[in-house]
Amino acid sequence: MNSITDQGALGWLTPRRIEVIRLIANGKKNLVIAAELGISVKTVETHRMFIYGKLQVHNIAQLIRAAMRLKIELWPADPAAASEKLPEPPRLTPRQSEIFRLLLDGKENHQIAAQLFVARATVDAHRDTIYKIYRVHGIAELIREAVKFRLLAVDQAA
């Protein structure tokens, strides 16, 4: 049994909900999750709402960081990667690095724009460029890349 579900306060975190969290963390949409688990889209939506409420998160980035704090294994471990020297992470400009960090913190584009005193379109453009540089299509994949390059560790997920 998963050690997460053994903890009394987290008894609500069933194996099914852990699987939903893993699939969300891998960038899967509700329709794909439903098909993979053999359940309805409505059931996936209900699981997602329940999980977000219990973990007090509002988006995928916050969900992934909360799951990392709970030590839920989101992605299969690559035994070779632990012993290999990692390549250098892609280079970002200082502004891109700042936006990258705020995205990893779970900030939405409009929040980043307000915090940095720039237009939302500017943040959108930087986010799109960051996604291209990292060759990802969404925040879940970006966080996975950050973990892979050890730019975000479990202890930083707090």
Q: pLDDT tens per residue, the chain (158 residues)? A: 344 444 445 788 899 999 999 999 988 999 999 999 999 999 999 999 999 999 999 999 999 999 988 888 888 766 555 556 767 889 999 999 999 999 999 999 999 999 999 999 999 999 999 999 999 999 999 998 998 888 887 555 44
Q: What is the pLDDT of residue 130?
A: 96
Q: Specify whether 125 is located in the same domain as 143.
A: yes
Cα gap 32→37, rounded to integer Å: 9
Q: Of the candidates 72, 84, 96, which has an alpha carbon nearest to the alpha carbon of residue 148?
A: 84
Q: What is the pLDDT of residue 152?
A: 81
Give just the sign of the alpha carbon dihedral 6, 8, 10, 14. positive
Q: Specify whether 56 is located in the same domain as 84.
A: no
Q: Specify whether 84 is located in the same domain as 57.
A: no
Q: Specify whether 64 is located in the same domain as 85.
A: no
Domain span at residue 45? 3-69
Secondary structure letter of residue 118 according to DSSP: S
- Contact present, 33 and 44 (Cβ < 8 Å): yes
Query: Which domain CATH number covers 61?
Result: 1.10.10.10
Q: Specify whether 65 is located in the same domain as 84.
A: no
State both tokens at 27: 């960038």
- Contact present, 120 and 109 (Cβ < 8 Å): yes
Residue 93 lies in a domain: yes
Q: What is the pLDDT of residue 74?
A: 86
Count of structural domains within the chain:
2
Q: Specify whether 152 is located in the same domain as 86.
A: yes
Q: What is the pTM of this model?
A: 0.77
Q: What is the pLDDT of residue 6?
A: 40
Q: What is the CB-side half-sphere exposure of residue 66 using CA atoms within 13 A?
A: 19
* 8-26 as b/e: b if 16+ CB within 10 A: eebeebeeebbebbbbbbe
Q: What is the pLDDT of residue 2?
A: 41
In the chain, what are the helix, strand and coil shares in percent, each to the nearest 5?
65, 0, 35
Residue 74 lies in a domain: no
Query: Which domain CATH number covers 119?
Result: 3.40.50.2300
